Amino acid sequence: MPRSSNSERAERLNAAFDFLARGLSLNEAAEALAEQFDLSRRQAYRYLQRAQRIKRPVAVPEPIIPLTIKIPADVAATLRAHAQASGRSIGHIVTRAVSIYLARARRHG
């Protein structure tokens, strides 16, 4: 069975938080969570334990999809070196750069 995505985990955690906020007992909340998301009771209890430690629902990140691009070799080498030196992933750096570029493009026409 594939691992859950960050989005799926956030949705489940928020549902657990909501069940507890509505006053359901741990047993009732675990049962509801297991049924809603097709989880084992053990998994449901883990989400409930985490939900008890948060003060508010968490943000649900957008799903991440793979995207293949072709860039010049020297740009790729510089990008890899920058990623390693900064401790960030190439995906993080490219996402941020493209987001900034698109925001500026929208402002300028």
Q: What is the pLDDT of residue 1?
A: 59
**47 neighbors 61 (Cβ within 8 angstroms):** no
| Phi, psi torsion values for 108, nearest 5 degrees | -105, 20
Q: What is the pLDDT of residue 10?
A: 96
- The CA distance from 30 to 42, in Å, is 8
- The CA distance from 92 to 19, in Å, is 34
Q: What is the pLDDT of residue 90?
A: 95
Q: What is the pLDDT of residue 99?
A: 94
Q: What is the pLDDT of residue 109?
A: 66
Q: What is the pLDDT of residue 3?
A: 82
Low-confidence ranges of the chain (pLDDT < 50): none
Residue type for position 101: Y
